[in-house]
Structure 1
Amino acid sequence: MSENIANKVVVITGASSGLGEATARHLASLGAKVVLGARRADKLEKIAGEIRTAGGEAEYLKTDVTVPSEVQALVDKAVSAYGRLDVIINNAGLMAIAPISELKVDEWDRMIDINIKGVLYGVAAALPVFQQQKSGHFINISSVAGIKVFSPGGTVYSGTKYAVRAISDGLRHEVGGDIRTTTIEPGAVESELKYGSSHQESADMLGAFYQLAIPSDSVARAIAYAIEQPANVDINEIVLRPTVQDF
């Protein structure tokens, strides 16, 4: 059903690497028009250039999802460039794993700002467009850590990802009908997310754990599956993890 993806305009945050980059490349290969946002403009420029060289359509804008005006500017760029917005993928995230007793309050704040408020800013920017069009699709990236608390050290990270699931569920109830909402909950997936911990013991644990990670394009294909469904089908949740990951 990739014909349901062709020509759709898709905004992706956290698009400079990992899940965001893989999703941008995959959707563009299926004919979507992708608009990429992240803080590293040089990487966005390279990815967008390679998508165009391969025959796809891509725009990009340096975007910090903790700044509402920058997320709004990213959505505005999509509408300006392509005349509409069909999907926003709220993907930007930070995983700073550490025992809560380490009291890394600055990292707690940063995870809340990126993982929760960043999603809400994406919703705030895209929802008026979707309501005016009477169509649209929110895809919010949570985690298996939003289903079961990641332990040890993942209490606050899991809290942010539980919040993404709650926000997505409430959003579906409030604006569903013409507007779809999907939550993606990946397990260990190869990306830069595993490098977010400043606590060395936790970083070492994650390095060992992520030996079982599956490629980022596994998530890209799951996202494509949700997008390509007919307009009257809303894929509410997709949980995916390595076959050898038992939690």
Structure 2
Amino acid sequence: MNSGIQNKVVVITGASSGLGAETARHLAKQGAKLVLAARREDKLKSVAAEVEAAGAEVLIKQTDVTDKAQVQALIDAAVDKFGRVDVLINNAGLMAIAPISERKVDEWEAMLDINVKGVLYGIAAALPVFEKQQSGHFINISSVAGLKVFSPGGSVYSGTKFAVSAISEGLRHEVGEHIRTTTISPGAVDSELKYGSSHEESSAAVQEFYKSAIPSDSVARAIIYAIEQPADVDINDIVLRPTSQEF
């Protein structure tokens, strides 16, 4: 067991698959107490069964991060069960790639609601807990698309991930004396994110791009590294991508 993680209470959104589920598996092996959230309760139960088999205490909470009240209920449930929250991983995300000229306004709004407002709702719910504890750790999943605009077709998605990076950096400045903030910016990582595009041509391009994707556990290991540091060490930014990915 890693003493930097053992018995820490970690809340993960988007935990039913991909990066969230894989991170839960890794944290279970390190002795973390897990609170897993996602919209698909059946898949949450499956992930929970895996991590319980690895010896972890786990709570699942069906949660839509676009609903502020549900995110607040998630954090409240974590505190009710475990007495505290040590880490919030804002992982839920949507990548709907399409040219702006296609005017997929509903998808723009969905990305803003999940990728930006969902992160803000998580921060709003967890911050009072962290302030009361005088400790806590926000881990916000951004993207390399939050460092350089993913083009063609990724303007709005990149906009949401630039926002996550900016919010995370501002949050670090504002609350950083006792509370840590980490931004994880992955490149092509194998997950369900690649299936978010309804635009046929863009979807085909994304599928081709993701043929060189690295496994989800690449991100999980980066998250483990950030969490396991001593309390006076704040890993602020981690960028990772396939070796073969140029941007």
User: Shorter-chain TM-score: what band?
Assistant: over 0.9
**How do residues 187-226 of structure 1 correspond to structure 2 at under 5 angstroms?**
187-226=187-226
Counterpart Cα distance in 1 of 2:11 and 2:147: 26
| Paired position in structure 2 for 1:12 | 12
Which residue matches 1:44? 44
For residues 133 and 36 of structure 2, what CA distance do their matches in structure 1 show? 21
Q: Secondary structure at the match of 1:65?
A: coil
The Cα offsets for residues 172-226 of structure 1, whole Å up to 9 and x where unpaired, read as: 0000010000000000000000000000000000110000000001000000000
Q: How much has 1:101 moved relative to structure 2? A: 0.5
Q: CA separation in 2, counterparts of 1:55 and 1:28?
A: 7
Query: Structure 1: which amino acid aligns with 2:224?
Result: A
CA distance in 2: counterparts of 1:14 and 1:157, whole angstroms: 17
Task: Give matches, 1:123-142, under 5 Å.
Answer: 123-142=123-142
**Structure 1 consecutive aligned stretches of length 4 or more whose deviation exceeds 6 Å:** none
SS at match of 2:34: strand
Distance 1:240 1:54 in 2: 27
Superposed CA deviations along residues 56-79 of structure 1, whole A, max 9, x for unmatched, are 111110000000111111111111
Write the letter of the residue equivalent to 2:150. Answer: F
Please give the alpha-carbon distance, in whole angstroms, between the structure 2 residues aligned to 1:97 and 1:120: 22
Deviation, 1:54, is 2.0
DSSP-derived class of the 1:2 partner: coil
For residue 152 of structure 1, report the CA deviation from its aligned partner. 0.5
Residue deviations 1:136-193, cap 9 Å, x none?
0000000000000000000000000000000000000000010000000000000000
Amino acid at match of 2:83: G
d(CA) in 1 for partners of 2:201, 2:115 = 23
1:5 is matched by which residue type in structure 2? I
Secondary structure, counterpart of 1:224 in structure 2: helix
- Rounded to whole Å, the distance in 2 between the matches of 1:112 and 1:170 is 18
Partner of 1:74: 74
Does residue 127 of structure 2 align to residue 117 of structure 1? no
TM-score (norm 1): 0.99
Residues 1:235 and 2:232 aligned together: no
How many Å apart are 1:2 and its aligned residue?
2.2
Q: How many residues align?
A: 247
Q: Which residue of the partner structure matches residue 59 of structure 1?
A: 59
Instruction: Measure, in 1, the Cα distance between the counterparts of 2:18 and 2:182.
Output: 19
Distance 1:182 1:81 in 2: 25
Once the two structures are superposed, residues 83-135 of structure 1 have per-residue CA deviations (whole angstroms, 9 ceiling, x without a partner) of 11000000000000000100000000000000000000000000000000000
Structure 2 CA distance for aligned equivalents of residues 214 and 2 of structure 1: 25
Q: Tell me, what secondary structure is at the counterpart of 1:137?
A: strand
Q: Which residue of 1 aligns with 2:94?
A: 94
Unpaired runs of at least 5, structure 2: none
**CA RMSD of the aligned region, Å?**
0.8
Secondary structure of 1:184 counterpart: strand
The percent of aligned pairs where both chains have the same amino acid is 73
Cα-to-partner distance string for 1:20-45 (whole Å, 9 max, x where unaligned): 00001111110000100000001111
Q: Assess if the C-alpha contact under 8 Å between 2:28 and 2:54 holds in 1.
A: no
What corresponds to 2:178 in structure 1?
Answer: 178
Give SS of 2:31's match: coil
What CA distance in whole angstroms lies between the structure 2 residues aligned with 1:28 and 1:37?
15
SS for the counterpart of 1:139 is strand
Helix, strand or coil for the counterpart of 2:167? helix
